[in-house]
Each structure stands twice: as C-alpha cells, then as structure tokens.
C-alpha cells in the first residue's frame, strides 16, 4: 500500500454499473492502492433489454420508475432480455446504507474510500459523500460532466477535455457550445490520464501467464495478438477496414510465429447473430437497429474465411474462458482496432509494440486519444510493413 494511505484508509468500496469497461477501472485503482483483498463491490443497475436501450440517457432513478410504469401496461418480454448478465449476486448500491456504515465504523476503521465509475453511479456516489462528508473519500473515474466539487478526486482521460481545445471549438457550432461539456479546464481535484485505468498490472499478468501457459506458452514465437472491435459514433469505419486488415496481416505473416485473433462485443457480425437469436423478445426498435447493421455483418466472417485454415492463425470463437488476460501476458505484439480505449490502454501498459488499425478514421476526442498515444510513443499505425520479430521496429 502507498505510504500516504498507510494507517489512514484501510478499506474500500467499489460502485460499478455492471459494465466491465467501467468496473475494471475501479478495480484497477483499488488494486494499485493495495486494497485487492479489502474492497467490496456494489452496483447501480439499470433495466436492460428491449426499449430500455433507448432510455440509458435518463438518470437511473427516473429510468427505473419509468420502466416500472411501462411494465405495468406492457408485456415484460418487450422490456427485458432473458438474462441478467450475472448481476444478481452483487449488492445494489444504497447511498444511505453505505454512508451510515462509513459513519459507524469511522473510529475503528478510518475513512471509507469510495471508488465509482460510469454515468449511472454519479448520483449514488455523490449522495454518499453528501451524507457522510467527513467519513468518506470519494473518487469518481470518468468525467461526471457536472458538479465536480462533489467529489474529492476525479480521474479522467485527457481527451475528455478535448472539447475545450481551439481545434474542437472550431468544430462546434456557436449555438451548441454551451451544451458541450466540460465547460471549464480541470480543477485541482482532477487527475488526467492518457488512457483508461485497468487491472492488468504485473501481478495480474503473472497469474494470467501461469493460467494460460499450456495453451499460449507452446505457440511459436513471436505471437501477434489481434483484437478486433467494431464501429462507433466516433470511429465510423466499415467492412473496408477489415478487408484492409486482412491484407496487412497477410503481409506480416512471414515475421510471425503465430497469430491469435479475438473479437469484442462491438464486432458487427457478432452483434447481428446475438440480435437474430433473440428476435422473439426484442422490441421493434431493436429489429430496426439490427437491419441497419446488416451491411456490416461480415467482419468476423471475412477474417474466419481468410485465416481459419492457416496453421499459424488461431481465432477465438467466443466459447470457453475469455483469453484476453492470457493474450496480454503472452503476446509479443498487438494489432488493435482504434475503437477500444480500454484494450489499447491495457496493451500499451505492457510495454510491448502496439499497432493500431483505423485511427485515421476516428473523429472528435477519439482522434485526440489516438494522437496522444502516438505522441507518447506507445502506439503506432499498422501498415502491413512491420517485422513483428523485431521488437524495436
């Protein structure tokens, strides 16, 4: 544990939103502070599935009340997906309960460190601080957009402040500028990072290296890991990008001992298959969204078609344990699509070569993030001319 915290803070609470991208950042910070075995996870959960996907912009409390009203007049299957994504065994975050606990145990255990991440956690986390201001140290990860003075510390990527740059201001119509946050430069309680926090530290990678030794340790070196995401609002690329990726991978194949390819939840054809499998319970809006994605469903199919018979290439099909941590531990180099801040942040932290696909197509703060990675020398564009066996290239 860092000396500054030794004897002052001895326990922590993580408040998540049920999404790995947000919760991993909290757990990563808690691990770095020495609370790996002394933290409890609570969650602020939203209704999911069906029409609820269109209500994510609402405050959690209002969303739940609206969903309850609609559920009374509609069939439940049109509102929720049939699975709960493993959230039932995690306690629901209750501000009053946690604040009361912090006050009652203060003299015995000292201040309670509360670490939260995700838009849905802001209200609960700030309420805990308001109810027990002298007994809680509150850290909010990711920019909360408003009322930063409610938090003791805000940890957010530098690119969240991109809207304040002259270049960004030129892109925003003058009549919209008052609605684009943040409005002020970072204050004294704001810590800026290059990428996202995560829990892929040295200890975690050692554990992963041991756990995946039998499967990944025997692969011919160098091992190139390819993480394929998918298009987002700020990285609107299409099938042409994956076709370009195929050509570039074929060009560097000679310098690789082996290649492992995996997909994320954003990969278009995986999204299509998941949507089609649940058409009986989706709302009309979901069907419209699925049909809109039909032109982009070939990403995974293209890669499988080109490389499934190549003895150097293995493609994870989504079955069994997720090899992501094993890939971070055993890879000699990475190729990652530009849409995933989390994957890029984790890979860059390993100190291994990271090549990015599609960065030139990203806009707004995602483009700023890509530029920042390149300026820091931790990532570079993938060109297909690389010698993967030369780690200094």
* pLDDT over threshold 60, residue 143: yes
pLDDT at position 190, please? 98
The CA-to-CA distance between both ends of the chain, in Å, stands at 37
- b/e code 267-306 from CB counts within 10 Å (16+ = b): bbbbbbeebeebeebbbeebeeebeeeeebbbbbeebeeb
* pTM for the whole structure: 0.85
Which pairing describes strands 136-141 and 153-157: parallel, antiparallel, or unpaired?
parallel
Averaged pLDDT for residues 110-134 = 96
Instruction: Out of 129-133, 297-301, 315-319, pick the least confident.
Output: 297-301
* pLDDT over threshold 60, residue 272: no
Instruction: Out of 103-117, 145-159, 260-274, 359-373, pick the least confident.
Output: 260-274
Residue showing tokens 């269109």: 54
In terms of DSSP H, where are the helices of 260-298? 268-277, 284-292
Residue showing tokens 């991993």: 24
Question: What is the H or E stretch that residue 190 is in?
Answer: strand 190-193
* 390 vs 158, residue with greater confidence: 158
* pLDDT over threshold 70, residue 165: yes
Cβ-defined contacts of 374-382 (< 8 Å, 24+): 376/194, 378/194, 378/348, 378/354, 379/344, 379/348, 379/354, 379/355, 380/353, 380/354, 380/355, 380/356, 381/355, 381/356, 381/357, 382/245, 382/248, 382/335, 382/355, 382/356, 382/357
* pLDDT over threshold 50, residue 186: yes
* 238 vs 331, residue with greater confidence: 331
* pLDDT band at residue 340 under the 50/70/90 scheme: very high
Instruction: Out of 279-283, 329-333, 366-370, pick the least confident.
Output: 279-283
Pairwise CA distance, residues 255 & 221, whole Å: 9
pLDDT at position 291, please? 44
* pLDDT over threshold 90, residue 79: no
- Percent of the chain that is helix, strand, coil (3-state, to 5): 45, 15, 40
pLDDT at position 59, please? 67
Pairwise CA distance, residues 352 & 41, whole Å: 31
CB-CB contact of 158 with 185 (8 Å): no
Output the CA torsion sign for 345, 347, 353, 359.
Answer: negative
Pairwise CA distance, residues 365 & 295, whole Å: 26
pLDDT at position 1, please? 53
CB-CB contact of 299 with 228 (8 Å): yes
pLDDT at position 234, please? 92
Averaged pLDDT for residues 355-384 = 97
pLDDT at position 73, please? 72
Helix (H, G, I), strand (E, B) or coil at 12: strand
* pLDDT over threshold 70, residue 273: no
Cis peptide before 206 (omega within 30 of 0): no
The pLDDT tens digits of the residues spanning 80-97 come to 544 444 445 678 999 999
Averaged pLDDT for residues 363-378 = 97
Instruction: Out of 142-146, 156-160, 294-298, 310-314, pick the least confident.
Output: 294-298
Question: What is the H or E stretch that residue 211 is in?
Answer: helix 202-211
pLDDT at position 37, please? 87
Using CB atoms within 10 A of its CB, is residue 99 exposed (0-12), middle (13-18) or buried (19+)? buried
* pLDDT band at residue 289 under the 50/70/90 scheme: very low
* 298 vs 146, residue with greater confidence: 146
The pLDDT tens digits of the residues spanning 9-32 come to 889 999 999 888 999 999 999 999
* 47 vs 128, residue with greater confidence: 128
* pLDDT over threshold 50, residue 290: no
User: What letter would DSSP give residue 136?
Assistant: E
* pLDDT over threshold 80, residue 55: no
DSSP string, 82-106: S--TT-TTSEEP-HHHHHHHHHHTH
Instruction: Out of 157-161, 205-209, 302-306, pick the least confident.
Output: 302-306
Radius of gyration of the chain (CA): 22
- The first and second tokens of residue 330, run together, are 């055993």
Q: Which residues are CB-contacts of 343 (< 8 A; sequence separation ≥ 6)?
A: 227, 229, 264, 336
CB-CB contact of 186 with 161 (8 Å): yes
Averaged pLDDT for residues 183-188 = 94
Averaged pLDDT for residues 313-340 = 96
Output the CA torsion sign for 388, 389, 391, 393.
Answer: negative
Averaged pLDDT for residues 350-373 = 97
- Structural domains of the chain in order of their starting residue, each with its CATH number: 12-45+87-193 (3.40.50), 202-381 (3.40.50.2000)
Angle at 339 between CA 246 and CA 41, to 5 degrees: 125
């Amino acid at each position: 544990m860092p000396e500054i915290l030794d004897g002052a803070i001895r326990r922590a609470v993580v408040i998540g939103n049920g999404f790995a991208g947000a919760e991993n950042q909290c757990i990563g910070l808690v691990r770095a502070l020495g609370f790996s075995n002394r933290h409890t996870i609570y969650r602020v959960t939203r209704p999911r599935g069906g029409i609820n996907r269109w209500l994510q912009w609402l405050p959690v409390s209002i969303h739940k009340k609206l969903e309850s009203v609609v559920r009374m007049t509609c069939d439940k299957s049109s509102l929720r997906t049939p699975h709960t994504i493993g959230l039932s065994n995690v306690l629901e975050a209750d501000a009053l309960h946690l604040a009361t606990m912090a006050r009652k145990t203060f003299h015995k255990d000292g201040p309670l460190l509360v670490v939260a991440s995700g838009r849905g956690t802001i209200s609960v986390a700030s309420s805990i601080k308001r109810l027990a201001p002298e007994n809680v140290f509150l850290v909010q990860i990711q920019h909360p957009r408003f009322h930063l003075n409610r938090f003791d510390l805000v940890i957010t990527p530098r690119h969240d402040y991109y809207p304040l740059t002259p270049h960004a201001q030129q892109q925003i119509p003058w009549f919209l500028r008052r609605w684009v946050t943040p409005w002020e430069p970072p204050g004294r309680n704001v810590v800026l990072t290059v990428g996202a926090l995560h829990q892929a530290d040295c200890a975690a990678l050692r554990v992963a290296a041991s756990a995946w030794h039998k499967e990944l340790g025997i692969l011919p070196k160098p091992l190139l890991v390819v993480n394929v995401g998918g298009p987002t609002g700020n990285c609107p690329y299409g099938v042409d990008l994956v076709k370009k990726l195929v050509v570039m991978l074929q060009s560097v194949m000679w310098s690789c001992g082996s290649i492992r390819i995996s997909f994320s939840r954003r990969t278009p054809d995986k999204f299509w298959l998941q949507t089609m499998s649940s058409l009986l319970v989706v709302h009309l809006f979901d069907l419209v969204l699925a049909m809109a994605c039909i032109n982009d469903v070939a990403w995974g199919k293209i890669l499988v078609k080109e490389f499934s018979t190549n003895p150097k290439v293995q493609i994870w099909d989504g079955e069994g344990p997720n090899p992501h941590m094993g890939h971070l531990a055993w890879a000699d180099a990475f190729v990652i699509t530009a849409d995933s801040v989390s994957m890029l942040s984790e890979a860059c932290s390993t100190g291994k070569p990271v090549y990015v696909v599609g960065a030139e197509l990203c806009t707004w703060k995602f483009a700023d993030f890509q530029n920042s990675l390149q300026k820091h020398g931790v990532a570079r564009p993938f060109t297909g001319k690389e010698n993967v066996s030369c780690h200094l290239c």
